[in-house]
């Protein structure tokens, strides 16, 4: 499968724990995006990378959220000290330049 | 910040009907996307357009840049078309996509 993959697909954690999600984009895609989708809502943009450079992070929801793309390939999104309000679907998408974005299946997070 | 409004929010129709979903936005954009999301599933890109009209199978997407409006049409609708259809825009000062809330479409046999 050469699409965008995300791991894990589901994560249940207790409030206060740290979680990390991984996204593997389509190999030739230089741009990678993270979005969050809560139940019944459209996704919202969090951050994006062009190669290894994080070009926009002001939309990250708080300083508990951070993302990396160390070698311009896969990316990780970390949430520290999780809160119940962080429960959502976290989506990753990749694209080559300004062509169509391809979305991964998402990681569904539940914070108890 | 771009505001993206979709209508209707919910739509139930009979198989074979012609379906129209509308999207309007508030600030000029570089491109508009129509996306499809099945329950519990990921998001699939249907169209990316910046002007005019695109067609793929039974799906047609149009955009009017001057009026800041786009429509997604489904001809000869089928139960497998049942999904959430999301309009998203890019540009207008934002880096990522700005999404509408989606239109929940149900096609009954």
CA-wise closest residue to A33 among A42, A23, A41:
A23
Q: Which residues of chain A have pLDDT under 50?
A: none
Verify whether the Cβ–Cβ distance A103 to B33 is below 8 Å: no
- What distance, in Å, lies between the first and last C-alpha atoms of chain A? 33
Verify whether the Cβ–Cβ distance B96 to A48 is below 8 Å: yes
Q: Flag whether residue B101 sits within 8 Å of chain A, measured between CB atoms.
A: yes
Count Cβ–Cβ pairs < 8 Å, chain A vs chain B.
Answer: 56
What pLDDT was estimated at residue A62?
A: 87
What pLDDT was estimated at residue B92?
A: 64
What pLDDT was estimated at residue A1?
A: 54
pLDDT tens string B13-36: 999 999 999 999 998 889 999 999
Q: Flag whether residue B29 sits within 8 Å of chain A, measured between CB atoms.
A: no
Task: Give B14's contacts (C-beta < 8 A, 6+ positions apart).
Answer: B107, B108
Contacts of A46 in chain B (CB under 8 A): 96
pLDDT tens string B48-81: 999 999 999 999 999 999 999 999 999 999 999 9
**What's the half-sphere exposure (Cβ side, CA atoms, 13 Å) at B22?**
8
What pLDDT was estimated at residue B93?
A: 62
What pLDDT was estimated at residue B69?
A: 97
CA-wise closest residue to A35 among B9, B50, B35:
B35
């Amino acid at each position: 499968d050469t699409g965008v993959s995300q791991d894990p697909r589901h994560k249940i954690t207790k409030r206060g724990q740290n979680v990390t999600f991984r996204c593997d984009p389509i190999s030739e895609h230089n741009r990678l995006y993270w979005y969050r989708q809560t139940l019944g809502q459209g996704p919202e943009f969090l951050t994006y990378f062009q190669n290894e450079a994080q070009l926009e992070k002001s939309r990250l929801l708080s300083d508990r959220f951070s993302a990396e793309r160390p070698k311009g390939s896969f990316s990780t999104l970390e949430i520290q000290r999780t809160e119940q309000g962080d429960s959502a679907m976290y989506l990753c998408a990749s694209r080559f330049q300004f062509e169509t974005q391809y979305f991964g299946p998402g990681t569904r997070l539940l914070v108890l | 910040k771009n505001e993206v409004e979709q209508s209707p929010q919910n739509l139930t129709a009979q198989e074979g009907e012609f379906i129209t979903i509308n999207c309007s936005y508030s600030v000029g954009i570089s491109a508009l996307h129509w996306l499809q999301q099945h329950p519990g599933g990921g998001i699939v890109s249907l169209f990316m357009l910046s002007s005019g009209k695109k067609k793929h199978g039974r799906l047609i997407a149009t955009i009017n840049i001057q009026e800041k409006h786009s429509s997604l049409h489904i001809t000869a609708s089928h139960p497998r078309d049942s999904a959430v259809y999301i309009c998203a825009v890019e540009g207008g000062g934002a880096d990522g996509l700005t999404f509408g809330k989606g239109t929940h479409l149900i096609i009954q046999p």
